[in-house]
Amino acid sequence: MENLTIKRLGGALLLKYAGEITLEMTADLKRRLEAELGEGDGEVRAVIIDLSAVPFMDSSGIGFLVSCNTRMKSTGKAFYLYQLSPAVEKTLGLVQLLSFFSVLPDETALTGVCE
């Protein structure tokens, strides 16, 4: 998945995927995140998903975000979305999940949760 970048920022893991998040992609994304959470040195306290480069997302993508959120919260960790593209914002709005997720509005907020 050359379109996926995963960065460690302090105690947080920042995932950025550039491309469509559909049925075709979600299983791979889930696997990559699981692998990263399993092997990283030092504890990951938060996962942040940057959605700025996602031109299309379907309900499988929504399911992926929900499952990440559940996984992190169930172990007392944090899960954030960052920089929603217009398409992602529309899709999450349609299913009334915009306020369900914690969305980081800007870089200051991002830096704040990475300390």
- Site for another protein, rule CB under 8 A: 20, 22-24, 56, 58-60, 62-63, 66-67, 70, 87, 90-91, 94-97, 100
Q: Which is nearer to another protein, 60 or 78 (CB)?
A: 60
Q: How far is the CB of 41 from another protein (least distance, A)?
A: 30
Asked if 47 contacts 80 with a C-beta cutoff of 8 angstroms, the reply is yes
Nearest approach, Cβ of 43 to another protein (angstroms)? 24
The span from the CA of 70 to the CA of 93, in Å, is 19
Residues 6+ apart with CB under 8 A from 2: none
DSSP 46-58: EEEEE-TT-S-B-
Closest separation between CB of residue 5 and another protein, Å? 23
Nearer to another protein, 28 or 107 (CB): 28
